[in-house]
Amino acid sequence: MTGEVGLRLERWSYSVLARLSGSSATQGYRPGVLTELVTGCSPLRTLRATLRFRAPVLVGRGARLSVARDATVRMAPGAVLSVGTSPMPRRTTQIRVEPGATLDVRGVVTVMSGSHVVVDDRAHLTIGAQTFLNTGTTVWCAESVTIGDGCAISWNVTVSDSDVHQLVRRGRAARRTRPVTVGDRVWIGAGATVLKGVDLGAGSVVGAASVVRESVPARSLVSGHPARVVDEDVSWEL
């Protein structure tokens, strides 16, 4: 009975927080979210971010959420952004949104401890509902990166739409950035790298340590360096 009462109290408290922040009172709720808030978060940073972005934003102790004054963070109704609150050993976690950039959070999104997310000047990053970035992952968005709903991005993954440095081949400068799209329910295995211009089709799976240079058909399994299709009509579950 005590557990049931505690759960009801937690749900009620969450609904109050959500209403105060202008978000939905029911969407995005999960049991234990307030315990996570109290034990794993910086109360001051969490409160400041929640009030600023008008939706629950949980900022872990030691994590940094740095958003320029003229940057935009859009939280969909019911969205919850969790930054560096995972129970794993705490490592530096950072989300940085530069001037003129946009971060769209479409639902419950978890950026685990040790991950780094950078949205460069005037770039646009979208992360879908129920998607998580595991420990040690880096997302570098210099132009446009879109990550769909229900994606599992494993530890030590790199996703980048930019070469960062300018490559010149036979006197001709290569295009430095090309948009990256990760479809819904994509699983990117540990240590994989997704390079500029790649479109990972919905339901596709990227094998561990693969380097993806070309777009991947939906529901395909790719592996290798460079990654190649090794199977089709695949599915996966957590």
Distance CA 19, CA 205 (A): 38
The DSSP secondary structure of 72-123, one letter per residue, reads: EEEE-TT-EEEES--SSPP---EEEE-TT-EEEE-SEEEE-TT-EEEE-TT-
Which residues on adjacent β-strands are paired with residue 100?
none
Which residues on adjacent β-strands are paired with residue 59?
83
Distance CA 52, CA 82 (A): 15
- 175 DSSP assignment: P
4, 48, 78, 191 from 211: Cα distances, Å: 47, 38, 34, 9
Residue 208, token pair as written in the block = 């561990």
- Write down the catalytic residue from 116, 124, 165, 225: 165
Residue 227, token pair as written in the block = 């990654």
CA–centroid distance for 33 within its chain? 18
- The reply to whether 165 belongs to the active site is yes
Distance CA 204, CA 181 (A): 12
Distance CA 25, CA 185 (A): 26
Report the catalytic residues.
165
